[in-house]
Structure 1
Amino acid sequence: MSAWNTGPFDNDDAADLIASGDLSWRRLQKEFDDVLHAHGYLQAPDASEALAGIALVAAKLGGKGVLPAKLSGLPAKLGPMPEKLPGLALKALLRIRGEDSELNEMWQESEDFADWVKRLDDIEAVLMRAV
Structure 2
Amino acid sequence: MGAWGSGPFDNDGAGDLIASIGHGDFTFESVEWAFEDDYLEVDGGQIAVALLELVLIVRADRKRDPAAQDLDLDSFTSALTSERLTWLIEMVERTISSTDSELFELWDEQGPEELASWRVPVVDGLEDLRVLSV
The alignment's TM-score, normalised by the length of structure 1, stands at: 0.78
Secondary structure at 1:90's aligned position in 2? helix
Report the CA distance between 1:73 and its aligned residue: 5.4
Paired position in structure 2 for 1:42? 40
- 1:60 matched to which residue of 2? 58
Q: 1:122–1:53: structure 2 CA closer, same or farther, 3 Å change rule?
A: same
The letter of the residue matching 2:41 is Q
Percent identity for Structure 1 against Structure 2: 27
Task: Report the count of equivalent residues.
Answer: 126
Distance 1:55 1:28 in 2: 15
**Conserved? CA contact 1:32–1:89, under 8 Å:** no
1:1-131 maps to which residues of 2 (within 5 A)?
Answer: 2-20=2-20, 21-24=23-26, 27-28=27-28, 31=31, 34-35=34-35, 37-39=36-38, 41-62=39-60, 64-65=62-63, 67-72=64-69, 74=71, 76-78=73-75, 79-80=77-78, 81-98=80-97, 99-111=99-111, 112-131=114-133
Q: Does the 8 Å CA contact 1:57/1:75 hold for their aligned counterparts?
A: no
Give me the TM-score of the superposition, normalised by structure 2: 0.76
One-letter code aligned to 2:53: A
* Alpha-carbon shift at residue 22 of structure 1 (Å): 4.2
> Is the 1:96–1:103 Cα contact (8 Å) retained in structure 2?
yes
CA–CA distance in structure 1, aligned partners of residues 70 and 81 of structure 2? 18
- Cα distance in structure 2, aligned partners of 1:52 and 1:62: 15
Change (3 A) 1:64 1:123: same
